Structure 1
Amino acid sequence: MIGEPRSVPALFLERVRESPGEVAYLFPDYGGWTSITWSDLRMDVRAVALGLAALGLGAEERCAILSSSRIEWVIADLGILCAGGATTTIYPSSTEEECAHILADSGARVCFVEDDAQAAKILACRAALPALLQVVVFDGTPTEDGWVISWSVLHAQGRALRATRPRLFEELVETIRPAALATIIYTSGTTGHPKGVELTHACWLSQSAALEATGIVDHPEPLHLFWLPFAHSFGKMMITLQLRIGFPTAIDGRVERLAENLLAIRPTIVCGVPRVFEKIRAAVLQRAREGGVLRRALARWALEVGAAGVRLDREGRSPGLVARARRALADWLVLRKVRARFGGRLRFFFSGSAPLALEVEEFFSSVGVQILEGYGLTETSAATHVNLPSRARAGTVGPALPGIEVRLAPDSEVLLRGPWVMRGYHGMPEASRDALDGEGWLHTGDIGRIDADGHLSICDRKKDLIKTAGGKYVAPQEIEGTLKALCPHLSQVLAHGDRRPYVTALVTLDPVLLRAWAAARGLSALAPEELARHSDVKVLIQDAVDRMNLKLPRFATVKRFAIVPAEFSEAAGEVTPSLKLKRKVIEARHQAVLDALYEDPGGAISGRRSASVAASPS
């Protein structure tokens, strides 16, 4: 590109000029997939931008999007930005109260919604939203009073305005400056009310330029499959990166279609979160276990061969003839079949949002699939660090992207400074000053360490660290990730023990794998609550806990655990939309169960072995 665009809309129009006839997006349509070129995308974006201009949207005024990930989300987002406005994102799973808070706090003037169900949330709190001028529904019913209008009507209004002012679209884009507000993304609120993170056009431009400079997407015929919520900063980052580099993206926010879409689209790049990778690993291992003794042994052997090859690669050693032959045989018999589940062209997964357990990363590496773990926060427009294909280091989130400064505070908190750090929290000057010090360093709240080559490792959230009654600090996320990797039948783990005499855990079970496990033992008739109390299930988890405890210092070992029959859910307010545990909510809800883990432990705390207690349904 000649010169650096001054805004995301300018970057978009530059991409259109460079790649007018190339495919920009693919999306589901009438049971198949259809595509849109960059040139056609511009026409749709222009119609939305001018439609918003016809509604009187002013510079940096906010427009919200309440929808799952779909092509209209991207068109609306780019249309808002091209009109000079700023996008406020809302998770489609948000409650009426959460929607009302975000719309009111951001002062949104327009809200795009996916369908009638999402529109109903906004209609229910209409009286509390005097600033909201218009609701635009992608697939739904307009209201008689015109407060809710259809997607097609907004387009028609934009086309009508262009007929009278043919240069208005370009004029709007030209007025946008780098320092202008582009996005407000609300934090997931694990500890209270979410805060609106203000990100400018300069944030997205500088970050996308840094990612491009790494060469991370430099491979033939790249194709990105995206299914995560665009409401998350991860999704917004990928939109801008695509504008910068120009690769096509297939969009389908229906998570239940992910496995099918991987086979249909055959992507080279897929973004994910650790929970998804944990489930894939668990499913593969479960299938091997169900295949009988021979199949189980073959799978174990193939994974061991794959792991040995990965170790040689990381040590910079070349495998001998016998090792190459063993790898080829393992690949032919087992490993290639696992890779085929991802479409057969995958170059790598991106993983973010939460720590990836080392055991999960090693499993994927063993089958020949690379997971590039990265790190960032909403406050940093998503990524500040990422492992690169040629220099990935397991157990780390990679080196800092060019342009980001990083250092550790005396207590090992990660501090970041750079051009794509937020300008502050919306309407919260005191919270902004707490997060951003006088020298511009963002205090992340994460505890980390940096190795000699600059690779960052995240140990845990500062506020989540457990300090036992004995004064020892324990990182719960390390325990939780390790235990889930050792016992694929576990869905979630919450380590507990702050100001307690020892560490305990609440665990939930994966319902799909639990049903398969129960069927293999003739226990299909038992309800989930009954399985949670079954002695064989407790032994299954106990074995994993004991194996994990052998790797931990005595003060960090899990002495007792309780099985919670139902998974922690977003609907119950126990996890965020990005699947992070709301620890205080869960601990308060299961206070009696946790207290019981510290009553009459008997011999359970005399050594490294742990014991379990039953948990009642919440």
Structure 2
Amino acid sequence: MSTPRFDTLPAAFQHTAAIDPDAIALRTPGNARTLTWREYGDQVRAVAAGLAGLGVRRGDTVALMMTNRVDFYPLEVGAQHLGATSFSVYNTLPPEQLAYVLGNAEARVVICEPQFLPRLRASEIALEHIVCVDEAPADTLSVDQLIGYGTAEFDFEAAWRAVRPDDVATLIYTSGTTGNPKGVETTHANLLFQVYGLDGVLGFEFGDTITSFMPTAHIADRLTALYVQEVLGTQVTCVPDPAQIAAALVDLRPTVWGAVPRVWEKLKAAIEFKVSAEPDESRRKALEWALSVAADRSSHLLAGEPVPAALAVEWARADELVLRGLRAALGFDRLRWALSGAAPIPPQTLAFFAGLGLPISEIWGMSELSCVCSVSHPRDARLGTVGKLLPGMESRRSPDGELQVRGPLVMKGYRGLPEQTREAIDAEGWLHTGDIVEIDAEGFLKVVDRKKELLINAAGKNMSPANIENTVKASTPLIGAMAALGDGRAYNTALIVLDAETAEPYARRHGLPDAGAAALAVDPGVIRAISAGVAAGNERLARVEQIKRFRILPVFWEAGGDEITLTMKLKRRIIAEKYAADIADLYQHDLAAGVHEPRRD
């Protein structure tokens, strides 16, 4: 039976909530808290009435500043039912950035947790109302008080039926790698086309289970854990702390799932560490054997070659004896498909999980395209590509290789920035993505890099820093972040930052008393391991791309900090300025202190 099509999120939600009202729509790990579709729908109605009582009308803006929690959903969806533009702000934004985002959005109401109030008040932004969940300090409203503003005269049906497809459903603020973030205006029509397009390629089922653990301001979380749920009826488990995701996966055993590359890389590193640290020798040997078979299988998949019959038989045996249990231990034994997106992922990482029997597809998209623009089902995917454009989207390449796309996913514009909107979308409706791509004869896309981030060396050779970085990072879990350098230079170098989560278990295993970044950056064992990893990565790079020298920085880089955006993209201009002295050392004729050259031991 085909899925009914709707043209606004409230219309879709009202249909979905009526399919099985007693089914659980939202939960926390262990079912500590649950919300059925009936309860969800009742709360949406009450929140919409309360917001209307506060004076919120169609076209007004409501901001949310909350962790991943069940309470978020009725508040967000309730605002949608008024035709309001409801959006999330990153919880880590400093007061000055909060002031910019909320001012640009023209937010009338902010709904937040008390822990975020000090920064919200420090922003000095003028707001009509602040609503607090959990408790309501002075000068704020509680959720119960908000709901109390609802009146019997409020016509809920008329309110949500008045919402139009071209109304702005949400604002997604870009990473801000080159200045203030821009608010992408995304309409109901954009999001409905997105959800139905994904469903057509991947296939969702009512009751499919998934987690919400990425920031709700991130378009990937909003799409997979909010809009898909409203339209297709998935069950969402809210995980407030991303560090708890591994345990949450075991609790939930999701049927569909997605994550950014860094999460997949951390899961890969955790598996490899677990195997190497297994105290039972016979069990460790069994795990090592199974992983070696998986690696052999994935090498063929990565090369686009058929898996030899004998290897397929051996893999089936490894799957029966070991890999099936490993997937269950990860919580992935029910997984039909998974996604990776928001940044490039090393093909070796995808191949690693393919070898384990976990079907992951790399996707490509951007906030200006409502999230996902190209994807293929894992059974059709090609490692190293980001699939094909969703049906209904058009593409073309400019002479310099930039991908330009046109179709129903393209944003309405940047909030309050008409000039920047015209720069992004030309008069014919083509969005200039800024990504350099290759497209093969069958329509599979391969993203080379951002147009503005390509390295052009002293000899005029164009190189992708992201490809260099991902190739090297795939060689060792110790590397948390890496910035490849070489623009206008005779050779490439790199600034390397250790992975904060891997550092502590590494130090413990090697008997090191200090797991801090400064201590590990000068530890001989760490330097040897990084050097070997860079050397291994170099073997998979063209000679001109190889890293000749590197420096391990005595710091960890945190998402939302100076060097990395909240969506895990490098702020390359800021890195170049902040670490100018370190970069200069890398290009001195003699090796400066702390500068290393890759070598195998």
- TM-score interval for Structure 1 and Structure 2 normalised by the shorter chain: over 0.9
Match of 2:217, SS state, is coil
What is the TM-score when the length of structure 1 is the normalising length?
Answer: 0.90
Amino acid at match of 1:545: V
Amino acid at match of 1:81: Q
1:310 CA displacement: 4.8
Structure-2 change in CA distance of 1:566 and 1:133 (3 Å): same
Partner of residue 85, structure 2: 86
1:253 CA displacement: 2.8
- Distance in 1 (alpha carbons) for counterparts of 2:207 and 2:298: 26
Stretch deviating more after TM superposition (55-64 or 311-320): 311-320
- Distance in 1 (alpha carbons) for counterparts of 2:36 and 2:500: 41
Q: Does 1:555 align with 2:544?
A: yes
- Distance in 1 (alpha carbons) for counterparts of 2:258 and 2:589: 46
Q: How does 1:418-497 map to 2 (within 5 A)?
A: 418-497=407-486
- Distance in 2 (alpha carbons) for counterparts of 1:542 and 1:50: 61
Residues 25-80 of structure 1 show CA distances to partners (whole Å, capped at 9, x for unaligned) of: 2235xx74332222221111111111111111122111111112222222221111
Amino acid at match of 2:217: A
Equivalent pairs, count: 593
Contact kept? 1:538, 1:612, Cα under 8 Å: no
Gaps of at least 5 residues in structure 1 are: 604-608, 614-618
Q: Does 1:506 align with 2:495?
A: yes
Partner of residue 153, structure 2: 164
Amino acid at match of 1:237: L
Stretch deviating more after TM superposition (3-12 or 83-92): 3-12
Contact kept? 2:208, 2:233, Cα under 8 Å: no
1:580 CA displacement: 1.6
Amino acid at match of 1:584: R
Partner of residue 72, structure 1: 71
Partner of residue 237, structure 2: 250
Contact kept? 1:49, 1:82, Cα under 8 Å: yes
Partner of residue 136, structure 2: 141
Partner of residue 184, structure 1: 171
- Distance in 2 (alpha carbons) for counterparts of 1:74 and 1:427: 27
- Which of 325, 330, 336 in structure 1 is aligned with 2:324? 336
Contact kept? 1:373, 1:386, Cα under 8 Å: yes
Stretch deviating more after TM superposition (367-376 or 548-557): 548-557
Amino acid at match of 2:36: T
Contact kept? 1:476, 1:496, Cα under 8 Å: yes
- Distance in 1 (alpha carbons) for counterparts of 2:508 and 2:236: 40
Contact kept? 1:558, 1:610, Cα under 8 Å: no
Residues 445-479 of structure 1 show CA distances to partners (whole Å, capped at 9, x for unaligned) of: 11111112111111111111111122111101111
Amino acid at match of 2:28: F
1:197 CA displacement: 0.5
Stretch deviating more after TM superposition (257-266 or 503-512): 503-512
Percent of residue pairs identical: 35
Structure-2 change in CA distance of 1:520 and 1:205 (3 Å): closer
- Distance in 2 (alpha carbons) for counterparts of 1:526 and 1:183: 42
Partner of residue 60, structure 1: 59
Partner of residue 405, structure 2: 416
Contact kept? 1:307, 1:365, Cα under 8 Å: no
1:300 CA displacement: 4.2
- Distance in 2 (alpha carbons) for counterparts of 1:597 and 1:311: 34
What is the TM-score when the length of structure 2 is the normalising length?
Answer: 0.93
Q: How does 1:195-210 map to 2 (within 5 A)?
A: 195-210=182-197
1:330 CA displacement: 2.1
Partner of residue 261, structure 1: 248
- Which of 266, 272, 275 in structure 2 is aligned with 1:279? 266
Partner of residue 314, structure 2: 326
Match of 1:341, SS state, is helix
Amino acid at match of 1:85: A
1:227 CA displacement: 1.1
Gaps of at least 5 residues in structure 2 are: none
Partner of residue 194, structure 1: 181
Match of 1:486, SS state, is coil
Match of 1:546, SS state, is helix
Structure-2 change in CA distance of 1:501 and 1:250 (3 Å): same
- Distance in 1 (alpha carbons) for counterparts of 2:173 and 2:515: 42
Partner of residue 237, structure 1: 223
- Which of 359, 370, 373 in structure 2 is aligned with 1:370? 359
Partner of residue 22, structure 1: 23
Contact kept? 1:226, 1:270, Cα under 8 Å: no
- Distance in 2 (alpha carbons) for counterparts of 1:296 and 1:516: 18
Contact kept? 2:265, 2:349, Cα under 8 Å: yes
Stretch deviating more after TM superposition (530-539 or 333-342): 333-342
Amino acid at match of 1:118: F
Residues 58-105 of structure 1 show CA distances to partners (whole Å, capped at 9, x for unaligned) of: 221111111122222222211111011101320111111111111111
Residues 493-534 of structure 1 show CA distances to partners (whole Å, capped at 9, x for unaligned) of: 111122222211111112343343344443335754232112
Contact kept? 1:19, 1:246, Cα under 8 Å: no
Partner of residue 8, structure 1: 9
Structure-2 change in CA distance of 1:233 and 1:525 (3 Å): closer
Structure-2 change in CA distance of 1:469 and 1:325 (3 Å): closer
- Distance in 2 (alpha carbons) for counterparts of 1:152 and 1:549: 59
